[in-house]
Every structure is written in structure tokens, then in C-alpha cells.
A and B are shown apart, each in its own frame.
Chain A
């Protein structure tokens, strides 16, 4: 924009940026766009809000974040050189490898800084770099939020509020000229700490133990706990201001001193370069593609198997949503996989739209119509559908079996399984895999390290904004001996730590990719590469030649098994799975013929001749004699006995009479069928049959189940067994002693409340109405009562809105709550102050 005056605010800096650059900012931080800001000033304001800055910081890679952290401990504004030396160190400490790292940092810093500028986290020209104030607050060390740098507050911050006398003592002990002005005293002390030579000289005089104490604090956390009578080395350090008091028991190593000890470095390990993903194994790319294709094929048959299992009515949906653990177990057993893996398949079918709730009143899961369409697709397209759905899904089956924040079990297909980060992590993992040469399986640990570098977890941000101040990392723990805390594990994310969601998502992605055949033996397959880079069409084309061609034959063996040495054509597979039991699955399928399975086929409407023809047509080998014999033998007996249902029957020894009935047109309504010469079966109930035959002029008699003639007689109607009613006594049950005692106490206390002579306001609260005082007055009165230990009378409205009067003796008043002994209830209770309508003191003589 050609202006020469440096920007004075972030808004000015933004205003000076080109449209392209602003667009990039908005792309990187889309939250700034909702709603669209009115002007640059508003944009700058919004870019500086806490929520937005936190979000932007969370999206930084590790080195950019380290740069921002370094800026947060640097003077504001900071020149580029200062920033660089905070990252590389001032070259005072050690040797060659440091130089390599330094070179890498020097090379990487401009890009990191550009990134921060782009995101409007840093502004100003190189000589006056400014970190956005909110970011500075978030990243600068404070006792509540320790910085990942492990640095403490500056001398000025740490000595704020220290008595001038104490400052003088420190100056004297440190060998500095005395001054009465605290500001210049602090400056002098800070000056000493930042001066390399003088500081080195001062430390040379330090006792060895003191140096080891400093060693323990130098990389953070900088806080240590001290006993009231510290050991001599600690005392030595405290006297010279190298440890400054924070509270009576805690001291801190000031930032300037720590930086000296660290040779000027803000981070112990700056990580300017992303860790490379190492190869764990190199495999033949073709073998990888084949393995992945094999697994893809398995994936399809597993999904088919699952939905086939649920064909005749799937599992019921839990009231809270999802699949019960038992149903998941059952599905897992049917698919012959672990429950975790079963959850993956179920979720995958759901994500791909092949499975859904049926929406009936008694809701169950069932396959969708899309499933039937899917089944008709060629193998490769079916796989592409699954893989595409998987890539985009936010559902995370890996969580199944765990618990949510409230301790409720997370069930498959249930709510709470969506994790918005999942697709992004999945894509990132696959992109990293794609970055490796074909056939290379990555080392998962290296992969996780890389992901963590790209999106590090900010220390303190892990527990969310609700983390109470001064928790874990900020609270020094006491170590025996020196009276100092040993630093706890410095970084929140140790390299091997896989408990954070992104790492877990990444690990799940690797597992799921293998299950789905996206990877084969750990390496990304070329079909998956095509899916990521070129899209579904290309992926399907790559997969197609790798999928085994369905076969149309099996091998029959004399031990009554059939082996399909590969996938079968669908009609053949369906027929065989009816005719025989599946004994073993995998690349091939082993079927076993049993009398039961053959009967099943006959039940399904096949005739023995059909079965013989079917086997002869599809067997590559002659049909073994025992198998033919088995089919004939089962067929011989099949259908020998016939079963049907009838509502009533007519039997008569005289066949002619039955002939007559059947010939009569009026009998058509009775739906009679002749089973034997002397027996007719009817589809009408016995009563209607009797009635119908009587109308036709016959005189039928009813028969009992044992065949006796039933004599009809008007029977007296009876209820099923019933017990006599229990007597209902008058009035409530007689109370027991405990209840009586409690009642009396309550009545007495209520009485006290109603009749006490109040110091003031008594007339206002007459006749049972609640006392009313202003909030301030209430607070003051209650606090006074707490101090004096006297009882007060309050009006109180509970959560349901009902009002009551109570006499309480306040014990404590804090945080908007009164903790008090309630004479009415005879126990200690806590009352929110805002629910107390008013308060009145009791006359002294009646105080309980």
C-alpha cells in the first residue's frame, strides 16, 4: 500500500493488507466471518477476542506456536533479532549440533512469522513485532496458566508489591548500588540478570547446591515450595533475588534469570521442522494392492453378512438411542470379529446409508432401500461407496464401549459418537501415508508425532477453559531434602502419549483403513491413492482388476463338503447357503451338507431332482455317491407327514352324508375340505360350523378334545381367581416415634420463627408474611450473624417456588451462598443468597 508510516494498531495493520491477504486471513479463521464484520476495526476487534484467538492458536503448528510463545515472553514490541535469539539461544552455551538447529530455526522462522501475521496474531514490521494482546495474555506465563516455555514472571511482575526494604536487601546482597526508588531497583536487578558477564560472575560465587536447585527450576515449572526455614543454598538464592517469593511457601525463578541459565532460549527443544514419517516396512506395492483388495472384498462380504443377519428384523433401538451391548455382541459373534470391529462395521453401514432406523413405533434397525441398490453394483463401486462414506464420516466407532463425560456408556449407532475432528484427522493421516512412496507402511509412532507437531495441544488448553486456576501443573509439589519441588513432566503431551482425541482418531484411522482395505499390510493402496487424488471413478477402475472373478463352480467331496475355491456368483452362493451349512469362510468357502441343510432346501421349494441337477451343473467333480444318496434319502421322507391348520372338523362314519354336505351349495361358506373319506376339515369355528350344519338340516353334535360328545348346558360365568379386597383403614397410618420427634421439632422451630420478637421490621413481617429486605441488607445482616454466631430469621423461596420461613444460624457466607445451621430442619444447610427474600435478627432472648 505504499505507506511509510508503521501501523500503530492491529486495525491499521489489517487495513494496510491487500484484499488477497485479508481473504487468506478469513479462510484461515472463518469464525471471524460470522457475522460479517462491518469494517476493519470491527474485524480487528473480533480477531482479538479470546474465543477467536484460542481457536486460531489451536490451529497453529508446533513451530508457529513456539514462535508465538517466544513472542509472549519477549518485550512488547520485540525486534526480529530478539525473537530469533529467543528461539536459537544467544550462542553462549554449546557446540555444533546447536548450530544445525539454529540454522534450521533461522530458515523456518520467516515462514512461521508470516503464518502468524497472516492469521492476524502478530502485526507490526520486523523491528516492532507485536503479538495480539489476547494471545499474549493466553501465552504469557502466569501462575494460573503455566507457559509451555516453563518460564516464570519477570522480575518486575514478581516483585510487584514487595516492600522497598526487602528490595534494598536484595540489591545489597546482589552487590548492586542501593537506590530508594523501587522502579529503578527493579530495573537494576533485571539489568543484572540480563547482563551475561555480571550474571555469570554472580553465579560463580553461588554454592554448588544452589546451582542444582536452579537446575531443577530452569526448564520449568519455575515454582518451588519452600519451608519457613529454607536450607542455606535456597536462602542464598532468595537473598539475591534469584528466587522471588510468590506466597509464604512458594518462590519463583524470575524470567530473566531463567533465560540466562537457558542461554537465552525460550524453549528447551525448538522444533522448527516437522518430524518426518518414517517407514516401518517397505513392501511390494503390488502385494499391498492385492492385500488391500482382498481386505476390501472381505469388507463387502462382512457388511452383507451383517445386514443379512438383520434381514428378518434387526435389533431394537435402545431408548437412549443405539445398539445394546448384547446385540453388538451377537452381531460380533455372527461376523466372527471382536466387538470393537463389529462396531466399526455397523457404523460404516450406517454412515454409508445402508442401515437405518425403521421409524416404526417399536423402532428397529434395518437395511435401507439404498442397500438393495448397493448390492446390485459391481464390487469395486460398492467398495468405493463404503470408502467415500468412511472418509467423510464424523462417526467414530472407536469410542464405542467407552464412556462419555457423564459416565454413560457409548453404544454403537448411539448419539454422542460424532467427533467433528474425525474427517480432518482421517484425511491428514491418509495424506501423510500418500506422501510416502508406494508400498511403504509407516511407523505409527512417527505418524502420531507428526500429527502432534502439526496441531499441538496447548498446555492448559487440554482441560478446556473450565480448568480451575492453579490446578495440577501450576501447583508445586513438595520434594523432600531441599524443600523444592521437582519439576513434573514438563510437556502435557509426552511423545508416547496417545490419550488425546486426535492421536486416538489417528490410530483408529490406521486400524479402520486396514479393515476397509484402504491400506494393505499397513501401506496405502493405489486404489485408495486414486480415491484421494482423482476421485471415485479412478479408484473403482484401479480396484476392478484386483477383485477376484466370481466363480460358477464348486468342488464336491465325499465327506459331504463342497469347497468354493473363491468368491461365488451370487445366485450360486445363495442357493448353496440354503442347501448346505457354511463351515469356514475366507478366500474360499467350505460348505457342509447335512440332512438338516438338505431339508431346508426342500422346504424352500426345491425338488430332489432340482438339487441333483444343480449340483451336477455346478460341480467340477463328479457328484459323490453319498451326497446323492443323502439328498434322495432326505427327499424320500420330506413331506411324508403333512401339517395344516383347521378351525373345526366334521367326522361321520357314513361317507354318503359327507358327500351330501360337500355337494350342498350352502356349505361353501363353511370352507370345508375333505381330508379322508370320513373326515372334513373346516376353516370356520366349531360354533358357526354347528350352526351352519343345523341350518342345512343336519343334527350335528359337538365333540370334546378327547372325542366325547359335548353336552351343552348354560354354564354360570366366573371370573378368573381373585383375592378378596384388603380393608382400607380410616385416616393415615399411626406415626412412629422418630417421625413424631421430628414433627415436634419442626413445629417448635416454626413456632419460634413465627413468634420471636424481632429487632426490627417485625411489624412488616407480621401475620406469617415473609420478611423483605434489600439484597445488600440481607448480605450484611447474614454476614454479621455469621461473625457473632447468632441466629436470624429468614424468608426463603425454594427451587420449586414455594416460600417458607426459617430460623438459621449462619456459619459461613461465600460465593453467594450462606451455610448455616437450620433450626427448623435441625441440620446444616446451604442457601443461595438470591433465594432469601429477607432477613430479620432475632431478639436476643429467643436466639436458639
Chain B
């Protein structure tokens, strides 16, 4: 009755983190269970078929999984659950994808009825070629990703033994002069390289770019990097020049403005998914070189067409980077099956404890609307309600008061609605960065902010991702994309880069009380709360009087 783990009937595992065996337990369950929530006392892991199959792929067997559960469990583990785990794991490896000297790629089975079953599926039929012998069927090499994805959905995951192409070799070294990869970054690179392909999940500000650079140094091959936008692409470039042996000339940018293809090419999702006359003209980029590694930055934003191209890239090593594998479209499993399983994951709080990301104080400021505003809100059209309550004048006043309170600190005001931001910019006398701001102008403003020449910057959602604002210590969120959890996490990430003086970051969410704004805020905060970032809720009146 002393184990740190409680096995629930819905296949979640509750781990008591203060228990002396918690760390040991975490290590043994990590290969097969997904960390779902990591609040302060009890972490929740979930055992999924995908997780169990990934464990099999990584060389763990059912016996080990069962032993781990039985050993650390506080209460008897339901027998049915153990049986279910064994049965699920036994489904993996009945089918294998491997290279064949004549047929290229073949699917073989050790259990003929399984092959018969999957070949009868309408979804599998177009992906396979002739039957070579009773246990083997040819697979079109281009369908390697598709068939893996389909088999996974059918519950008979294939073990992929076909390996990877090395790609065109290109010397890349990390230039560790005066810095070194952090231990968890090293682990992430090793985890990825050992597994071949996969996703690394690290909080914003924890140095995902360096994990990418580390992976490139392992691959020593031409690399295609896919990023969300041009600003992000430039930052990747400057970071790579700084941290690796690569020179400016070796790195190409493939974006709306420039179309360079070099040994290391950084392309934006936007340019790849541009469609002209029903075709994607820039897709040839994937085939333009013999890439040895493809890196997907912010993989949770991977647009649907890129999924499809990725399915065709199964012979190349793929690395996905993200802070939150929460996809609002629920396509997490596609990410896992096409890019690869999660290879590394660390709770945010753990990295914070190691001092690599700044501690943050998250505060939700509840604003009481005025009576006229409440009446106007009550009568607003349903689709206008959120916009209305998110942009009320009262919120603007509170925001201004917050900025005033943190006068002298580098402050970001983040919002969704341009007119609200313009208005705020005017009142705060601060520049506004929005979609129409040119890239050059953006870089000038970011630079000024970095230098401390301006201390308040108002940004729209264009700044959600991959902008590097090292000294932002206060972020004030006034409105967002409804209840998007990953947006909330990205925005918090803006202030998590470690501060020079080590002091705590502030993240404010200004929320109108008793409106839909409050409901969305609750939804948005859930992810962070589950990462251990507990929000304090403060009444705006109290906050303003105390300052």
C-alpha cells in the first residue's frame, strides 16, 4: 500500500509526485504512458494503444509494462486492464514494412489472418500492390506513410523496418563556444536520433531551435526546415549561423520574397501551401534535394496539406518541434503517425525548476463591466458577443492601469482585435505590430524593444509564434482566439525566457466577468493549469486600489 501510482479503470495513471519513488516510477512508465496533466500534487498519465505500440517500437514488451504497473501501483491493478495491455501490445509487429530487393517495399506478416483482414479493408486496397506470397504483399514506396497511418487506424500498426535514406551529406557541427546544449536538450536530441523520427515537446523558451541544431549536427546532411513565418525563418537562420558551423551562404530562405535552395533551406508553411490553379507549385521543394532531415517547427500548427506531403516523406528522418501538442483540430494522432511518436517530453515546471525557463506568475484579472456595457452585452448578437465583451472600454482602462503599474518593465500587450489594439496603442503611446506591418518594420520594432528603446509593444496574433523577445517580463493578454489553449501557452511562452536578473515574469489575462470571455478564459487556462501554471484570480478593483 505504498506505491506512488494509482491505476484507474479508465486507463489513466495517477502519480503522486511527492512520493519518494515518484521519479523512479516516472521513468518506467514514461515509455508507454502519455503525460496528460502535471499540476502540483498528482500527475496524470494515460495509457493509450498508440503509447503502448510506441513502447513496443522502442523495444519494451508487455511483460515490462505489466511489471512496472504492478510494482509501483498502490492498489491491485485490475486484471482486465493487464490483459488488455498485453493484448494491445501483441497487435504490434504482426505486420512489418521492410525493403525488398525486387519489389522495393513489402508488407509481411507473421500472422496470416491479420494480413487477410487488413487486405480486405477498402482503405488498404489502393495502397498495396501484388501479393508476392501468402505472407507478403508489395507496397508502393510512395504510400509508406499512408499505409502506416491506415494500419494504425485499423489497429494493426506496422513495424517499419525499411529504414531511412541518409540523404546528401553535408558537414554540420555545433559551435559550442562558450555555451553547451543543456542536459534536457541533449536527451531530446539523443531520444530523437535513437528513435529515427519523432516529436520533441519542450516549453516555449526552452531552446527548441537548439534541439533542431543538435539533430542537424547528428545527421550531418542537407536539411529542410519548415517554419511558421518569415520572421521565424530569419531567426532560425541567425541562430543556426551563431550556434553551428554553418555559414550564411549555406542557409537558404524559401519564402514569399526569396526562393533560395541551399544545403540547409528554411521554408515557411505558407509558401508551401500556396495554391495556384489547384496545384501546389512549391511542393517540388521537397524533391529539389536529397534531404537527409526534415524539421517541422511548431508542429501543432502543421497545416493539413503538409500532412499529405509528409506522408510521402517516410524514408527521410523527420523531427517535429512544439511546445504544446494540443491541436484544436484533434489531429494529434496524425502528427504521431506521420512525423513520429513523441520522443521527448518534459513538464514545464521541471525545466523551470532547473532554471532554464523563467518562473511565471499567471494572473487572471476579472473586470466588472459597467451597467451600460452589461446591457449592451446582453443584447448583442450571439456571434458578436465575444468580440464585444473582449474589447470593452473597461478592459482597456484596466489594461492601461496594469501597464502603468509595471512602468519601466518590458511589457507586451497581446490581443486579437486590430481596432482594440490600435486604440490601446494610441492610449499607451506604444507602437502596434499587426498583420499589415511589413517585415522590415517588424524587425526594427522588435530590435528597439530588445534594446530597451521602447518598453511597451502592442502585438496582434502575428506575434504568437517564434518571435524572440528576450527581455519581455510582462505580458498582458486582452483578447484571444476564443478558447484556444495552445495560443495561451504560446503567449505565456513570450515571457518565459530566463531573465538576466532572474526575476519572475508576469502574465496577465484581462477578462470581463460574467461573460463568455470568462468561459473562454477558463478553457484557455486549462492547459497551463495542467502544466502546473496555476492562475491566481484577482478582481480588477482590488488590483487597482493596491497599486
Which residues of A come within 8 Å of B, CB atoms? 287, 290-295, 298, 336, 514, 520-522, 548, 555, 557-561, 563, 565-566, 584-588, 590, 621, 624-626, 629, 633, 637
A557-B41, A621-B41, A626-B536 known, 19 other contacts, Cβ within 8 Å: A287-B70, A294-B78, A295-B79, A298-B9, A336-B9, A522-B79, A557-B39, A557-B42, A558-B39, A558-B529, A563-B41, A565-B14, A585-B9, A586-B10, A586-B12, A587-B7, A590-B12, A590-B44, A626-B529
Which residues of chain B come closer than 8 Å to A584, judged between CB atoms? 8-10, 12
B119 interface residue per 8 A CB criterion: no
Alpha-carbon gap, A287 to B526, bound state (A)? 39
Smallest beta-carbon distance B244→chain A, Å: 39
Closest 5 CB pairs of A and B: A558-B534, A294-B76, A586-B8, A587-B75, A559-B529
| 14 residue pairs bridging A and B, Cβ less than 8 Å apart | A287-B76, A291-B76, A291-B77, A291-B79, A294-B75, A294-B77, A557-B42, A559-B39, A559-B534, A586-B8, A587-B6, A587-B73, A625-B536, A626-B536
By the criterion CB–CB under 8 Å, are A298 and B78 in contact?
yes
**Cβ contacts B506-547/A at 8 Å (1 or 0 each):** 000000001000000000001001101011110000000000
Knowing A557-B40, A557-B42, A629-B537, the reply to whether A520 touches B79 (Cβ < 8 A) is yes
By the criterion CB–CB under 8 Å, are A293 and B6 in contact?
no
By the criterion CB–CB under 8 Å, are B76 and A560 in contact?
no
Residue in B39, B73, B75, B535 whose CB lies within 8 Å of A548:
B75
Residue in B6, B8, B82, B529 whose CB lies within 8 Å of A560:
B529
By the criterion CB–CB under 8 Å, are B16 and A626 in contact?
no
Smallest beta-carbon distance B495→chain A, Å: 19
Smallest beta-carbon distance A555→chain B, Å: 5
Residue in A558, A563, A633 whose CB lies within 8 Å of B14:
A563
Alpha-carbon gap, A298 to B79, bound state (A)? 12
By the criterion CB–CB under 8 Å, are A520 and B76 in contact?
yes
**Cβ contacts B37-74/A at 8 Å (1 or 0 each):** 10111101000000000000000000000000010011
Residue in A293, A558, A566, A590 whose CB lies within 8 Å of B8:
A590
Alpha-carbon gap, A558 to B536, bound state (A)? 9
Most A-side CB within 10 Å, residue of B75, B534, B536: B75
Q: Number of contact residues on B: which range applies?
A: 20 to 34
Which residues of chain B come closer than 8 Å to A520, judged between CB atoms? 76, 79
Which residues of chain A come closer than 8 Å to B74, judged between CB atoms? 565-566, 587
Knowing A565-B42, A590-B14, A637-B514, the reply to whether A559 touches B530 (Cβ < 8 A) is yes
By the criterion CB–CB under 8 Å, are B537 and A626 in contact?
yes
Which residues of chain B come closer than 8 Å to A565, judged between CB atoms? 6, 14, 16, 42, 74
Taking CB atoms and an 8 Å cut-off, the chain B residues in 77-93 that contact chain A are 77-79, 82
Alpha-carbon gap, A566 to B4, bound state (A)? 12
Name the CB-closest residue of A to B8: A586
Which residues of chain A come closer than 8 Å to B8, judged between CB atoms? 584-588, 590
By the criterion CB–CB under 8 Å, are B42 and A586 in contact?
no
Which residues of B come within 8 Å of A, CB atoms? 1, 6-10, 12, 14, 16, 37, 39-42, 44, 70, 73-79, 82, 514, 526, 529-530, 532, 534-537
Which residues of chain A come closer than 8 Å to B537, judged between CB atoms? 625-626, 629, 633
By the criterion CB–CB under 8 Å, are A295 and B535 in contact?
no
Alpha-carbon gap, A559 to B42, bound state (A)? 11
Smallest beta-carbon distance B170→chain A, Å: 45
Which residues of chain B come closer than 8 Å to A522, judged between CB atoms? 79
By the criterion CB–CB under 8 Å, are B10 and A585 in contact?
yes
Name the CB-closest residue of A to B42: A563
Knowing A558-B534, A559-B534, the reply to whether A586 touches B6 (Cβ < 8 A) is yes
Alpha-carbon gap, A626 to B534, bound state (A)? 8
Which residues of chain A come closer than 8 Å to B79, judged between CB atoms? 291, 295, 514, 520-522
Name the CB-closest residue of A to B79: A521
Name the CB-closest residue of B to A587: B75
Which residues of chain B come closer than 8 Å to A521, judged between CB atoms? 79, 82
By the criterion CB–CB under 8 Å, are B10 and A336 in contact?
yes
Name the CB-closest residue of A to B531: A559
Name the CB-closest residue of B to A521: B79
Alpha-carbon gap, A520 to B78, bound state (A)? 9
Name the CB-closest residue of A to B16: A565
Alpha-carbon gap, A56 to B499, bound state (A)? 91
Which residues of chain B come closer than 8 Å to A558, judged between CB atoms? 39-40, 529, 532, 534-535
Smallest beta-carbon distance B36→chain A, Å: 11
Alpha-carbon gap, A270 to B357, bound state (A)? 78
Alpha-carbon gap, A292 to B78, bound state (A)? 9
Which residues of chain B come closer than 8 Å to A585, judged between CB atoms? 8-10
Alpha-carbon gap, A563 to B8, bound state (A)? 12
By the criterion CB–CB under 8 Å, are B6 and A588 in contact?
yes
Which residues of chain A come closer than 8 Å to B9, judged between CB atoms? 298, 336, 584-586
Knowing A558-B40, A590-B8, the reply to whether A548 touches B529 (Cβ < 8 A) is no
Alpha-carbon gap, A287 to B3, bound state (A)? 14
By the criterion CB–CB under 8 Å, are B76 and A559 in contact?
no
Which residues of chain A come closer than 8 Å to B37, judged between CB atoms? 559, 561
Residue in B42, B75, B534 whose CB lies within 8 Å of A555:
B42
Which residues of chain A come closer than 8 Å to B40, judged between CB atoms? 557-558, 621
Alpha-carbon gap, A587 to B514, bound state (A)? 37
Name the CB-closest residue of A to B526: A559
Alpha-carbon gap, A585 to B9, bound state (A)? 6
Name the CB-closest residue of B to A557: B39
Which residues of chain B come closer than 8 Å to A548, judged between CB atoms? 1, 75
Alpha-carbon gap, A478 to B74, bound state (A)? 65
Which residues of chain B come closer than 8 Å to A295, judged between CB atoms? 76, 78-79
Which residues of chain B come closer than 8 Å to A561, judged between CB atoms? 37, 39
Which residues of chain B come closer than 8 Å to A633, judged between CB atoms? 537
Which residues of chain A come closer than 8 Å to B530, judged between CB atoms? 559
Alpha-carbon gap, A633 to B530, bound state (A)? 22
Name the CB-closest residue of A to B70: A287
Which residues of chain A come closer than 8 Å to B14, judged between CB atoms? 563, 565, 588, 590
Alpha-carbon gap, A520 to B76, bound state (A)? 9
By the criterion CB–CB under 8 Å, are B75 and A566 in contact?
yes
Which residues of chain A come closer than 8 Å to B12, judged between CB atoms? 584, 586, 590
Name the CB-closest residue of A to B80: A514
Alpha-carbon gap, A771 to B537, bound state (A)? 103
Alpha-carbon gap, A585 to B78, bound state (A)? 12
Which residues of chain A come closer than 8 Å to B44, judged between CB atoms? 590
Which residues of chain A come closer than 8 Å to B526, judged between CB atoms? 559
Most B-side CB within 10 Å, residue of A561, A563, A587, A637: A587
Alpha-carbon gap, A477 to B64, bound state (A)? 54
Smallest beta-carbon distance B489→chain A, Å: 14
Alpha-carbon gap, A52 to B335, bound state (A)? 71
Smallest beta-carbon distance A831→chain B, Å: 55
Which residues of chain B come closer than 8 Å to A336, judged between CB atoms? 9-10
Alpha-carbon gap, A560 to B1, bound state (A)? 27
By the criterion CB–CB under 8 Å, are B76 and A293 in contact?
yes
Alpha-carbon gap, A558 to B75, bound state (A)? 25
Name the CB-closest residue of A to B38: A559
Smallest beta-carbon distance A627→chain B, Å: 10
Alpha-carbon gap, A287 to B82, bound state (A)? 14
Smallest beta-carbon distance A251→chain B, Å: 42
Which residues of chain B come closer than 8 Å to A294, judged between CB atoms? 75-78
By the criterion CB–CB under 8 Å, are A625 and B534 in contact?
yes
Alpha-carbon gap, A555 to B16, bound state (A)? 10
Smallest beta-carbon distance B63→chain A, Å: 13
Name the CB-closest residue of A to B3: A587
Name the CB-closest residue of B to A555: B41
Alpha-carbon gap, A291 to B81, bound state (A)? 12
Smallest beta-carbon distance A521→chain B, Å: 5
Smallest beta-carbon distance B4→chain A, Å: 10
Alpha-carbon gap, A584 to B47, bound state (A)? 14
Name the CB-closest residue of B to A559: B529
Name the CB-closest residue of A to B528: A559
Which residues of chain A come closer than 8 Å to B7, judged between CB atoms? 586-587
Which residues of chain B come closer than 8 Å to A514, judged between CB atoms? 79
Smallest beta-carbon distance B521→chain A, Å: 11
Alpha-carbon gap, A709 to B1, bound state (A)? 76
Smallest beta-carbon distance B237→chain A, Å: 39
